[in-house]
Amino acid sequence: MTMKACYTSATMSGDATRHALLIAVARWLSQRQLRAPVIFLLEVHRPFAFAAGQCALFFQPLFSLWLSDASVNRFAAWLSDENVLDQFISLLQAEA
């Protein structure tokens, strides 16, 4: 329940906030030596980006147990956006 409150209280809109969040996730993955598998999965995911975003919206009632509806909508939009995908992959590669 604390996780949901944490995500709803943070305003994750705008390019600067999105970039800061992507950097934080890239660092977290880098510390756990998960860069290569994540980059591989993101590259494999690229052709299915739109479908993945739609699946996130489909499972929104389940995800709403942990995240706010706005966070799930934002996550689905990010999954569907190729620019976010490219930016995240470049951040992961830069962490190497």
Is the pLDDT reported for residue 39 higher than 90? Answer: yes
51 vs 47, 60, 76, CA distance in Å?
9, 14, 10
The average pLDDT across 46-67 equals 90
| Predicted pLDDT at 3 | 42
Q: Cα–Cα distance between 22 and 29 in angstroms, integer?
A: 10
Q: Which of 7-11, 50-54, 65-69, 89-93 has the lowest mean pLDDT?
A: 7-11
Is the pLDDT reported for residue 66 higher than 60? Answer: yes
Q: Cα–Cα distance between 11 and 20 in angstroms, integer?
A: 12
Kindly state the tokens that stand for 63.
């995800």
- Confirm if 45 and 75 have CB atoms less than 8 A apart: no
Domain ranges across the chain: 34-96
Is the pLDDT reported for residue 90 higher than 90? Answer: yes
- Work out the percent of the chain whose per-residue pLDDT is above 90: 38
